[in-house]
Structure formats: structure tokens, C-alpha cells
């Protein structure tokens, strides 16, 4: 048949046309019909590989050469690929000695390492002791120099007896605000020690620079008590003079100083243009103070305007582009949706606390989510207008959030909405849902599934959480160290005892107001988990209006009834009465006790 295809040959049956026999298809379908193989496969058995020689670099060959050398039995040589060589099998007694030698050598190495580490620790401690002694001598030398300087100026030396260091909290700023100027921490229970030194030594007549000192700024060790403190901080004129003479000041904290007027606080920004931290918490700061320091201090990073009753408009704070931390809690008239939405210009905002703000709603959180995507600490306690929409919008763009507090929000937040928002913050370390009574069983499951790096969790007063939800949280969140389940009335003793077996890292458990858990079970938990603190202030919920549990009500007195002394008759018969029972009285001491 020629090379024409079967349909050109006019035959409808393509098999009868012989197309598969054509030479053009020989390289494509050489075995159109399945044929048996040319030779049968070898039978696999124990004797299959006896004829296969051992490779010179194989493990069996190496072991046999090490153990037996070149004198290897040919029979053993032929079957050692299937079975271990007898030379590789050591007797049980020799194994014990080998294990003892290895363990002894391991202990010796550990002892040497431990001795080296201990020696390094001793050297480090000795160096630290020498450094501390040098610092102490240096501090005493400075104290003597300052005292001599005060005597030369003719100032009073009353109270110059000790150094009073002022501890200031450390902040994780990248550039370090402490290097930009001195620090002033003025509280209601102490006087500003730093400013007195600035007036007496740094401003009036600065002492010669000590070449051995590490920094030129006044440290905490250079502070000396003086009678000037009380006079300087009893009037705004003296304090204004101190601040005006320190234009390089970097941090200023005037928290809870309500004796300062709003006019004085309004002029702080003009006197201190290089401020990076300003705390006016609990003061009489008004709208003028906010406008002044925002315009005069563009480098501000930390601002605290909490509990400022006179503040009604804090929206100018949104103009601070370098803002990192902003707190405006308990300032209900100032913390509004307009203020929070205006903070979107602060691209590096990390901490936001607007707790107890009834005028804050979803619109402010949605506007904030348009620009701020670096928030790590968010506190929205008792914000009744915040709902699921604003929370999901803000958490969806801040996946690095580590602290979230939504306590006391029982109105607009729903169980489904919070469960959907939680899935965005998988790196969160602390969650607080205390007082959110509307939350149910969906949220604990979502937290256990998405927030496995949790270290602190509070579900206080969430009554629907039961044994299954608690077990899921404990088993999934392995790093959990603090847990608050107060008021979770659905938790039972059996579920709590079974769950505590998985709490390896738990350090504190608050379990107050659990009616299904007895005090005996709490005692058992405290004994079996010595590394965990169990807080239990009350076993049941007590209504604050119910005074039946009190021993007495105010304005009334409780009169105790006196018990009459009772006499007991004994069963001893007297010989003189002819077999009648003789009456016995109590002893005199017992009778006196009963009459009293």
C-alpha cells in the first residue's frame, strides 16, 4: 500500500486500510499492540544480591575493613550487603563500657564549659563592682564640689545632705529624645530637682566641665536638695523664669498640677521650641495651649492630654507629622471623630489612647485607617459609638498591633464583627474584652485560631464562655501567661481542672465570681500549680444594692440576748438521801462566765 492516508484510499475502515503499518508511523507507534517483554524479570529473593560486589566506598565495606582489616571471610563478604558483618556487632558488655566512656567524656566537657562560664561571670561581676565603686567616688566628688560652690555663692545649705535621683521612664524612640535636652519631671508629690540645678549651677554660674564625664548634660546624680525648690514651684513667675532660661529642654511633664493656670500653659510652646515630649495630663490646659505648642514645637513625638476638663478642641494635634504617641483619655469633649480622623497625617503613630470618649465613632476610625498603618497600641475602653465597621477598617491595615483594649463596650460591637476583625492581628500580645457582655462563643474560637502569640487575655464578665472555649484557648495559645475569666459563670470545676494540665506558661489566673468552682478546687489548683497565682476575691456575684450580707446596717444597733445559766443534774446517788439523786451545780468560774 502506498503512503497515502486511509481516507484518501477510499476505505472507511481505518484498521483495514493498514495505516498503522505505514512506515511514516513506525517511529510513533512501534508497539500498537501490547506485546510481552523480551525477557522475564528476575525473581527477588535473599540470594538476588549475593553476586553483586560491594563497592569500595560503601558503609559495609568501610566497617568491615575497620573491624576485620583485610582478613575478611569470603562468605561474609558475599552476604554483608544484606546482613551486618559479624565484625560490626559488639557484645552487650562492650556496649555498656562504650556508653560509660561516652557519658564520662560528655560530663567532662560540660564541667569544663561550666567552669569557663563561671569564670567569665566572676570576671564580669568584679568589673561591675569596680565600675560602681568608681561611679560612687565620682558622685561624692561632685557633691562636695557643688556644696563648695553653693557656699561660695552664699546660698543656704539647709537640706544639702543627700542626692535624690529622679527616675524617668525610658522610651523606645529611634533617635533618643534624652539627647536633645535636659528632662523635667514635675509631680504633685515632689519638687523639680532638675530645674533647681539648672538655675543654681548651669545657668547662673556654670561650673567647669569635667573631662572625665561621659555627657555634658546634668544627670540624676548631680541633684541636691535645696530650699529653693519650694519657692520656685509655688508661683508661676518663678517657674516661667526657669523654663525660659532652658530653651534646649526636651521633655516636660506637668501631670496633675492643677494649680497652673491655662494662660501659663499656653505660653509653654514659645519658651520651649525643641520639646519632643509634653505631658499635660490632669491640668487646666485649654484650646489655646494646644494651638501654641503645635505651632511652636513641630518636633513633638509624645503628647498626653488626658483628663483635661477644659479642653474642647484638640484637632490641631493632627498637624504634628512626627507624632508617635497620643493620649487623650477621659477628655470627652476633645476626643471626637474629627480629632481621630485628623491624625491620619501622622504616618508613624504607634500609640493611641482615646478611652472614655462617648463622641468617638466609626467615622473617626475609618479616617484614621487611611493614613496610620503602624499602630501597635490601641486603647478604646468605653467608647460606646465604636462599632464593627470602624474596628475592622483600622485593624485591617494595622497587622502589627500588639495591644488592643475594647473593655466596657457592650452596645455596638457584635460577636461576629469582632471575630472577623481579630483575624487581621495575628501578632497581638494582649487582648481585653472585659465587660463586653454581648460577646458569645464565636470570639474565643477566633482568638484561639488567629492569635496564637497571646500573652495576656481578659474575658471578664463574658458569661457565655464555657469549658470548651476555655480549653480551646489554653491549648492553642501556648504563650499565654495572664488570663482573666472572672464572671464566666458557665465554667465548671471539671473543665477547669482538665484545662490546667495544658497551662505550662500560665503565671496568673483571675477566677473571681465563678459560682460553679468551689474553694476546695481553688486550693487544689494552688497546690498542683505552684508557679501560677490564682486570684479569687469572691465566689459569687454580689449585688451592690443588696446589704443583707452585712452584719449591721448603718444607724441601727444589734442587741444580743443574754443566755440564762442552766444547771445540769448528775446521776450520782447520795447515801444520806436514801437513794435520791443529788443536784450538782457548776463551778464558780463557769457560773461567772455565763452570767457575764
Asked if residue 299 lies in contact with residue 274, where contact means CB atoms within 8 angstroms, the answer is yes
Euclidean distance between CA atoms 564 and 547, whole angstroms: 32
Rounded Cα distance, 51 and 81, in Å: 10
Q: What is the DSSP string of 477-498?
A: -TT--EEE-TT-TB--HHHHHH
The closest of 489, 394, 404 to 455, measured between CA atoms, is 404
Distance CA 267, CA 292 (A): 7
Taking the complete model, does pTM exceed 0.75, yes or no? Answer: no
At 343-395, the pLDDT tens digits run 999 999 999 999 999 999 999 999 999 999 999 999 999 999 999 999 999 99
The answer to whether the beta carbons of residues 198 and 223 sit under 8 Å apart is no
What is the spatial distance between Cα 457 and Cα 436, in angstroms, rounded to a whole number?
13
Do 239 and 266 meet the contact criterion of CB atoms below 8 Å apart?
no
In sequence order, the β-bridge partners of residue 357 are: none
Residues 6+ apart with CB under 8 A from 5: 19
Contact 430/402 with Cβ under 8 angstroms? Answer: yes
Residue-wise pLDDT tens for the chain (596 aa)?
455 554 555 555 555 655 555 555 555 455 545 555 556 655 666 565 555 555 554 555 555 555 555 565 666 555 555 444 444 556 666 777 788 888 888 889 989 998 998 999 899 899 999 999 998 888 888 888 888 877 777 654 444 444 333 333 344 444 444 334 444 444 433 334 344 444 444 433 444 434 333 434 444 444 434 444 555 566 888 888 888 888 888 999 888 888 889 889 988 888 899 999 999 999 999 999 999 999 999 999 999 999 999 999 999 999 999 999 999 999 999 999 999 999 999 999 999 999 999 999 999 999 999 999 999 999 999 999 999 999 999 999 999 999 999 999 998 999 999 999 999 999 999 999 999 999 988 999 999 999 989 999 999 999 889 999 999 999 899 899 999 999 998 999 998 998 888 888 899 999 999 999 999 999 999 998 888 999 998 888 777 677 665 555 445 554 555 555 555 444 444 444 444 444 444 444 444 444 43
Q: State how far the Cα of 52 lies from the Cα of 536, in Å rounded to an integer.
A: 76
Amino acid at each position: 500500500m502506498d503512503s497515502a492516508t486511509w481516507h484518501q484510499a477510499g476505505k472507511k475502515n481505518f484498521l483495514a486500510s493498514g495505516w498503522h503499518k505505514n512506515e511514516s508511523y513506525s517511529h510513533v507507534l512501534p508497539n500498537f499492540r501490547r506485546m510481552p517483554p523480551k525477557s522475564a524479570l528476575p525473581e527477588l529473593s535473599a540470594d538476588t544480591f549475593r553476586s553483586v560486589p560491594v563497592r569500595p566506598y560503601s558503609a559495609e565495606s568501610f566497617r568491615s575493613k575497620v573491624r576485620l582489616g583485610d582478613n575478611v571471610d569470603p562468605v561474609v563478604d558475599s552476604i554483608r550487603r544484606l546482613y551486618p558483618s559479624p565484625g560490626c556487632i559488639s557484645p552487650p558488655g562492650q556496649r555498656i563500657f562504650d556508653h560509660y566512656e561516652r557519658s564520662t567524656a560528655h560530663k567532662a566537657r560540660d564541667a569544663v564549659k561550666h567552669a569557663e562560664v563561671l569564670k567569665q561571670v566572676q570576671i564580669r561581676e568584679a568589673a561591675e563592682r569596680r565600675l560602681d565603686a568608681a561611679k560612687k567616688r565620682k558622685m561624692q566628688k561632685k557633691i562636695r564640689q557643688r556644696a563648695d560652690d553653693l557656699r561660695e555663692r552664699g546660698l543656704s545649705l539647709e537640706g544639702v545632705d543627700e542626692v535624690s535621683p529622679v527616675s524617668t521612664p525610658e522610651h523606645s524612640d529611634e533617635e533618643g529624645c534624652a539627647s536633645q535636652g535636659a528632662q523635667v519631671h514635675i509631680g504633685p508629690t515632689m519638687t523639680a530637682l532638675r530645674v533647681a540645678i539648672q538655675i543654681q549651677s548651669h545657668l547662673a554660674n556654670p561650673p567647669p566641665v569635667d573631662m572625665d564625664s561621659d555627657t555634658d548634660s546634668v544627670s540624676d546624680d548631680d541633684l541636691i536638695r535645696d530650699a529653693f525648690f519650694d519657692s520656685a514651684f509655688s508661683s508661676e513667675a518663678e517657674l516661667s523664669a526657669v523654663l525660659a532660661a532652658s530653651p534646649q529642654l526636651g521633655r516636660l511633664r506637668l501631670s496633675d498640677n492643677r494649680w497652673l493656670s491655662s494662660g501659663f500653659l499656653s505660653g509653654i510652646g514659645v519658651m520651649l521650641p525643641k520639646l519632643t515630649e509634653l505631658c499635660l495630663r490632669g491640668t487646666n490646659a485649654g484650646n489655646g495651649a494646644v494651638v501654641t505648642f503645635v505651632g511652636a514645637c513641630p518636633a513633638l513625638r509624645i503628647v498626653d492630654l488626658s483628663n483635661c476638663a477644659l479642653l474642647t478642641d484638640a484637632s490641631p494635634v493632627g498637624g504634628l507629622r512626627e507624632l508617635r504617641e497620643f493620649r487623650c483619655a477621659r477628655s470627652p469633649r476633645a476626643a471626637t471623630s474629627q480629632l481621630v480622623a485628623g491624625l491620619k497625617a501622622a504616618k508613624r503613630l504607634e500609640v493611641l489612647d482615646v478611652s472614655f470618649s462617648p463622641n468617638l465613632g466609626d467615622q473617626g476610625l475609618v479616617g484614621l485607617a487611611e493614613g496610620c498603618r503602624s499602630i501597635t497600641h490601641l486603647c478604646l475602653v468605653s467608647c460606646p459609638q465604636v462599632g464593627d465597621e470602624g474596628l475592622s477598617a483600622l485593624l485591617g491595615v494595622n497587622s502589627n498591633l500588639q495591644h488592643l483594649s475594647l473593655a466596657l463596650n457592650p452596645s455596638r460591637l457584635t460577636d461576629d464583627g469582632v471575630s472577623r476583625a481579630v483575624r487581621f492581628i495575628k501578632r497581638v500580645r494582649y487582648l481585653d474584652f472585659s465587660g463586653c457582655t454581648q460577646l458569645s462563643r464565636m470570639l474565643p474560637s477566633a482568638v484561639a485560631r488567629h492569635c496564637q502569640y497571646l500573652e495576656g487575655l481578659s474575658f471578664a464578665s463574658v458569661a457565655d464562655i464555657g469549658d470548651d472555649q476555655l480549653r480551646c484557648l489554653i491549648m492553642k495559645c501556648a504563650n499565654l501567661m495572664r488570663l482573666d475569666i472572672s464572671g464566666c459563670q458557665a465554667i465548671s470545676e471539671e473543665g477547669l481542672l482538665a484545662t490546667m494540665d495544658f497551662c505550662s506558661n500560665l503565671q496568673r489566673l483571675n477566677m473571681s465570681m465563678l459560682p460553679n468552682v468551689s474553694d476546695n478546687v481553688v486550693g487544689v489548683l494552688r497546690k498542683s500549680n505552684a508557679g501560677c497565682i490564682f486570684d479569687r476575691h469572691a465566689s459569687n456575684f454580689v449585688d451592690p444594692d443588696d446589704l443583707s450580707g452585712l452584719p449591721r446596717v448603718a444607724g441601727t444597733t444589734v442587741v444580743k440576748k443574754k443566755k440564762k445559766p442552766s444547771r445540769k443534774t448528775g446521776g450520782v446517788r447520795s447515801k444520806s438521801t436514801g437513794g435520791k439523786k443529788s443536784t450538782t451545780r457548776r463551778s464558780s468560774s463557769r457560773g461567772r462566765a455565763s452570767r457575764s
